[in-house]
Amino acid sequence: MLFTSPIPRGTSYFGNLAPAVTFPYHSNVGSPATRERKMPPPPPLPYHSAREHPRLRVATPVQVHAGERLFLCNTEDISVGGLGAKCPKPPAVATRLRLLFNLPNAASVSTDAIVRYVRADRFGVQFLDLLPEAHGALDDYTRRALGYTRNGHRIAKRLTVTLRSGVTGAEEEVAETVVLSRHGGRLVCRAHFKVGDELALHWPGEHRDAPVRVVFRRLSGPSGLIELGFQFLDTQDFWQMESVS
């Protein structure tokens, strides 16, 4: 008596195949017969993102050493795991590199990396054997700039606020928020504040004030607007997140 080996119901070694599988077998009485057992398609496999770290759009020069070739390019985004950059002749996939660049918070990062993809004049790399000091600087910068915490909550919200530096006689600068979180937020303005500046944030709509520190800065388009990421220094739930969400 000959039987084929059945596949357990609801499972598959090859993902989503045809919705029916035919299993021929011989009955144990009478003449051989061929029958069909129809199995339901297996459930979809769970999705797991390959990107473990949040990415931040940052434009900063990076020195690239690829074998005997040494050149400069500009980053487009950075995370604890790697970065994306642009240059006229990007290195090929799987090329080992040595990178040196500075973060906007003045931390310097030197690390080995490998090219994971190339698209026209853009390439992405994965950091290799990142030293603890460099890992800590990247992690701290990206988390502060994004207002990111594991249990944090962020919402996109446009509010008119003002910023004022601690310089005597400084005028208030009008700004508009882009993202809010319990720990800070992001906004756009025309003032040329820099990373590390401590400012007074005023929310006219709720007549509230709070001290903040700039943790991220980049140009936002060709019109001269600046995007700033900021962190509250001593305020809890300044935005009253439940009411503004």
Work out the average pLDDT over 140-155: 64
The domain in which residue 174 lies consists of 154-244
Shared domain check, 203 and 179: yes
Shared domain check, 160 and 105: no
Shared domain check, 135 and 86: yes
Asked whether residue 46 carries a pLDDT value surpassing 70, the answer given is: no
Question: Which among 191, 203, 192 is positioned nearest to 160, based on CA atoms?
Answer: 203
In a domain, 29, yes or no: no
Looking at 97, 119, 146, the residue that finishes a domain is 146
Share of the chain above pLDDT 90, in %: 35
Work out the average pLDDT over 127-142: 87
In a domain, 31, yes or no: no
Q: What angle do CA 121, 127, 128 make, to 5 degrees?
A: 135
Q: Are 103 and 141 in contact (CB under 8 A)?
A: yes
Per-residue pLDDT reduced to its tens digit, 55-95: 787 788 899 999 999 999 999 889 999 999 999 999 999 99
In a domain, 100, yes or no: yes
Shared domain check, 161 and 130: no
Top-ranked range on mean pLDDT: pick from 136-150, 193-207, 210-224: 193-207
Shared domain check, 198 and 166: yes
- Report helix, strand or coil for 205: coil
Cα separation, 175 vs 225, whole angstroms = 10
Work out the average pLDDT over 33-41: 49
Least confident of 125-139, 144-158, 180-194: 144-158
Identify the burial level of 34 via C-beta atoms within 10 angstroms of its C-beta, where 0-12 means exposed, 13-18 middle and 19 or more buried.
exposed
Identify the burial level of 172 via C-beta atoms within 10 angstroms of its C-beta, where 0-12 means exposed, 13-18 middle and 19 or more buried.
middle
Cα separation, 77 vs 57, whole angstroms = 4
CA 9 centroid distance within chain: 39
Work out the average pLDDT over 97-115: 88
Looking at 124, 146, 168, the residue that finishes a domain is 146
At residue 13, the pLDDT reads 36
How many independent structural domains does the chain possess? 2
CATH number, domain of 171, equals 2.40.10.220
Identify the burial level of 57 via C-beta atoms within 10 angstroms of its C-beta, where 0-12 means exposed, 13-18 middle and 19 or more buried.
middle
Shared domain check, 206 and 129: no
Question: What does pLDDT average to over the chain?
Answer: 77
Question: Which among 223, 134, 128, 228 is positioned nearest to 176, based on CA atoms?
Answer: 228
Shared domain check, 140 and 61: yes
Confidence band of 23 (pLDDT split at 50, 70, 90): very low
Per-residue pLDDT reduced to its tens digit, 114-128: 999 999 999 999 999
